[in-house]
Amino acid sequence: MEYANVIVDISHEKLDRVFQYRIPEHLKEHLKTGMQVQFPFGNGNRPMKGYVVGFTDTPDYPPEKIKELDRIMEGGVRAESQLIAMAAWMKERYGSTMNQALKTVLPVKQEIAEKKEVRLRLIVSKEQGEALLKDALHKNFRAKARLLAALLDHGGVLDKKEAADRYKVTAPVIRKFEEDGILVQESRIQYRNPFEGHFEQKERTVLLTEEQQAAVDGIFSEYEKGIRKTYLLQGVTGSGKTEVYMELIARITEEGKQAIVLIPEIALTFQTVRRFYERFGDRVSVMHSRLSDGERYDQFVRAREGSIDVMIGPRSALFTPFSQIGLIIIDEEHEGAYKSETVPRYDAREAAVYRASLCGASVILGSATPSVETAFHARNGQYGWYRLDRRIGRAVLPEVSVVDLREELKAGNRSIFSRRLYSAMDDRMKKGQQMMLFLNRRGLSGFVSCRSCGKAIRCPHCDVTLSLHGDGSLKCHYCGYQIRMPKACPTCGSPYISGFRAGTQQIEREVKKYFPKARVLRMDYDTTRTRESYEKILSAFGKGEADVLVGTQMIVKGHDFPNVTLVGVLAADISLYASDYRAAERTFQLLTQAAGRAGRGEQAGEAVIQTYMPEHYSIQAAVKQDYEAFYRQEIAYRNLMGYPPVETMMGIYLSAGDQELLEEKTKALGIFIREMQQQEVLMIGPADAALTRLNDRYRKVIYLKSRQEEKLLLIKNKTEHYLEMDAGWEKIRVQFDMNPFQA
Ligand code: ADP
Ligand code: ZN
Ligand code: ZN
């Protein structure tokens, strides 16, 4: 090949294309796709860096105009060609420059020197060694004597660094011994180990339940027949999904394949990794942002060399440079953490399915409360579908009851604990059992609701909650609809309308007020700034050092506390008021997961859900822990309103420091898109974003919806082109978001 296609390492729309360079003769043998190179760029021939993304013999420009590459960057990490294909796909689907996409798929950019360990090994017998030592002492060769003595003391093997630091032995002495055939130097790479000896491999045999076995056999028999697809593993909390993952991984790794296991949060890594380590030992590794650069780099190398089979980590572990992937697992697939919030705003579930298609792997999406998209695909036959409906062992699903907070108000109870929750707490205090109190603050965006009828004020066009702004207006962040804050509830006329204000600190105070003897731990953003504090709280609660754990959604995820017999949800509706179309889905998921925390051990559990809207289907379904009932209602709503997964939705986010410029340009872009006259595409907005102003930048949004995804992608491409051609966009940041998670 004569020419290389390269991408310039700068994220700028105008440079976001392939440039061609001639490959100098001496590099032809060495240059590979994905390598970092340097080349002269522009009129000034400034040296610039970039990535090789392909080769050609037939250039797109006159050959005499094509410049030559300078060199291959030393120490640059090479992107595998499969990851380059991923980057190209992400750029297309989610909207970003190729450079941003490449950065995303390359979790490690630079080579970091490996840590080498050199050991000195005595190769003469112990007796000979002792004789040599005697001789050295006799002749007063002190350094030689020190080294021999140290080697003999250490059973014949000594770390070279220790020989130098502790025994003050210099290199010439070692070399002399080596020449004389007294010792050898053994060098090996010492991989930085992120586990630091935390775990041990264990022999353990688990007899799979019938449901687990059916899932394993079903998926594996298709795998053996060469069928690759995506499966939903829908299993209630504690039904043994992780055992199913591990059994399937054991089978495919036996065939020489590799597996990637994605988990939603670093916080959960510890427990999951321990279980995988106990089963697979050193063949497992982790990749996450809290590792040191050296540790990350080593895991990357070990994966590429094939010295591990299983990589566990959050979203970005999807880009592990394995060459033989057989299985990609996404645990708790409904979690928002799988959607990237930086450009390219990829959805790890979609990206996993795409990567699997490139490398011939199957994908398993596991959850107790699958996302509506995944459930939709399982029902229309696009995904395989297995269910685990029973908990393992004697643990049963908890009793769930719902309390109508409007009734409490009528009965004159103004405390944040309903009478029912209070008496349940009192009962647990007397019995010495533990409880968790949960406040789902996620999505709290300044909504206004009525304390008498429970209704929030919503947009008549989009059916999402309006947000209260500082100037006293209520706004819709999809379409821009706006009204003044009313004096009374539009539904029932009650004057008791207001925003909801209650935090975990307030709950902690109230617990102490009503139960002075209670030992309370609080877990929220403020108390868990570091990973240690997070694990400390959990471990203290696990050891029974507190009676009550108060917290935000952090406390509902994946933790197993057998002595917890009561879970209280203080205001279940908060997440329902979030101003986006996933509010009901998120509420159902949070409530179901929260209830699932109670009664994981011998004693039966109970959950009490307090709400102003007991009639809402997401709350009703969570109370019955009935996923089907929730799904039926939710998909009807998505259908009616044309929200994903029924239609595809694309957000265009615009932000700038200059408000006037932003107004003007957003309006112009709106007109440009409207004039494209795409049939069956609906444009909503432009509107102010949920956060109208962030870091001194003003923010606007435009949403587009269509049943035909290709039409939205076409509009995206044309818009990208428009932004490049039209003047004045330099000061405005524009980002695309496919099927946004949060407004
Ligand atoms: P999930 O991932 O669905 O929440 P887990 O895989 O964590 O469920 O299983 C819950 C508990 O049951 C774990 O402690 C696990 O070790 C145990 N377990 C799972 N399957 C079995 C089995 N077949 N026999 C015995 N114990 C099991
Ligand atoms: Zn009302
Ligand atoms: Zn609206």
Half-sphere exposure of 591 (CA within 13 A, CB side): 36
Q: Is 359 annotated as a binding residue?
A: no
Measured CA distances, 80 to 32, 90, 319 (Å): 9, 15, 10
Cβ distance 57 to 2 under 8 Å?
A: yes
Q: Which residues pair with 700 in a beta bridge?
A: 654, 688
How far is it, in rounded angstroms, from Cα 269 to Cα 279? 15
Name residue 416's amino acid: I
Q: Whose CA is nearest to atom 10 of ligand 1?
A: 238
Q: Is residue 743 over pLDDT 50?
A: no
Handedness of CA 235, 240, 243, 244 (dihedral sign): negative
206 Cα–ligand 1 center, Å? 9
Instruction: At 649, give phi and psi (nearest 5°).
Output: -125, 135
Angle between helices 627-641 and 617-624 (to 10 degrees): 160
Pocket test for ligand 1, best of 243, 244, 602 (most atoms within 8 A of CB): 243
Which of 359, 286, 303, 370 has the alpha carbon at shortest distance from 77?
Answer: 303
Among the bound ligands, the one closest to the CA of 498 = 2
Characterize the bridge pairing of strands 681-694 and 71-72: unpaired
Report pLDDT digits (tens) over 323-371.
Answer: 899 999 999 999 988 999 889 999 999 999 999 998 899 999 999 999 9
Q: Which residues pair with 551 in a beta bridge?
A: 438, 523
Pocket test for ligand 1, best of 392, 396, 592, 600 (most atoms within 8 A of CB): 392
Cβ distance 429 to 511 under 8 Å?
A: no
Q: Whose CA is nearest to atom 8 of ligand 1?
A: 240
Instruction: At 396, give phi and psi (nearest 5°).
Output: -115, 160
Q: Which residues pair with 310 in a beta bridge?
A: 259, 284
Name residue 574's amino acid: I
Percent of the chain with pLDDT over 90: 41
Looking at residue 373, what is its pLDDT? Answer: 95
Name residue 641's amino acid: M
Among the bound ligands, the one closest to the CA of 451 = 2
Confidence of residue 110 (pLDDT cuts 50, 70, 90): low
- Which tokens in the block code for residue 562? 């057998």
* H helix runs in 39-159, sequence order: 81-90, 98-105, 126-138, 142-153
Of 533 and 19, the one with more pLDDT = 19
8 Cα–ligand 1 center, Å? 49
Among the bound ligands, the one closest to the CA of 395 = 1
| Other Cβ atoms closer than 10 A to 166 | 12
Q: Is residue 444 over pLDDT 50?
A: no
Report pLDDT digits (tens) over 130-185.
Answer: 999 999 999 988 889 999 999 988 888 888 888 888 888 888 889 999 998 999 88
Cβ distance 323 to 80 under 8 Å?
A: yes
Q: What is the DSSP string of 352-375?
A: HHHHHHHHT-EEEEEESS--HHHH
Burial 489-504 (b: 16+ CB within 10 A, else e): beeeeeeebeebeebb
Instruction: At 281, give phi and psi (nearest 5°).
Output: 60, -140
Which of 511, 291, 508 has the alpha carbon at shortest distance from 422?
Answer: 511
Report pLDDT digits (tens) over 472-517.
Answer: 788 887 788 889 988 888 888 888 887 655 677 778 988 999 999 9
Which pTM does this prediction carry?
Answer: 0.81
- Which tokens in the block code for residue 441? 């603050």
Question: How far is residue 149 CA from its own chain's centroid?
Answer: 53
Q: Whose CA is nearest to atom 15 of ligand 1?
A: 240
Report pLDDT digits (tens) over 236-256.
Answer: 878 899 999 999 999 999 999
Measured CA distances, 712 to 582, 680, 689 (Å): 20, 10, 20
**Average pLDDT score over residue span 579-588:** 88
Report pLDDT digits (tens) over 542-557.
Answer: 899 999 999 887 777 6
478 Cα–ligand 3 center, Å? 5
How far is it, in rounded angstroms, from Cα 28 to Cα 539? 57
DSSP class of residue 456?
Answer: B
Q: Whose CA is nearest to atom 5 of ligand 1?
A: 240
Characterize the bridge pairing of strands 19-22 and 3-8: antiparallel
How far is it, in rounded angstroms, from Cα 692 to Cα 139? 84
- Which tokens in the block code for residue 201? 């491999």
Q: Is residue 398 over pLDDT 70?
A: yes
Looking at residue 423, what is its pLDDT? Answer: 95
- CA terminus-to-terminus distance, the chain: 48
Measured CA distances, 401 to 233, 246, 364 (Å): 27, 35, 33
Supply the Cα-derived Rg of the chain in whole angstroms: 31
Of 413 and 620, the one with more pLDDT = 620
Angle between helices 81-90 and 348-359 (to 10 degrees): 140
| Rounded (10°) CA dihedral 203, 205, 206, 208 | 130
| CA-244 nearest atom, ligand 1 | 6
Cβ distance 594 to 634 under 8 Å?
A: no
Which helix (H) or strand (E) element contains residue 435?
strand 434-438
Q: Mean pLDDT over all residues of the chain?
A: 86
Q: Long-range pairs for 126-130 at CB < 8 Å and ≥24 separation?
A: 126/152, 126/156, 129/156, 129/182
**What is the predicted ipTM?**
0.95
How far is it, in rounded angstroms, from Cα 646 to Cα 643? 6
Q: Whose CA is nearest to atom 20 of ligand 1?
A: 240
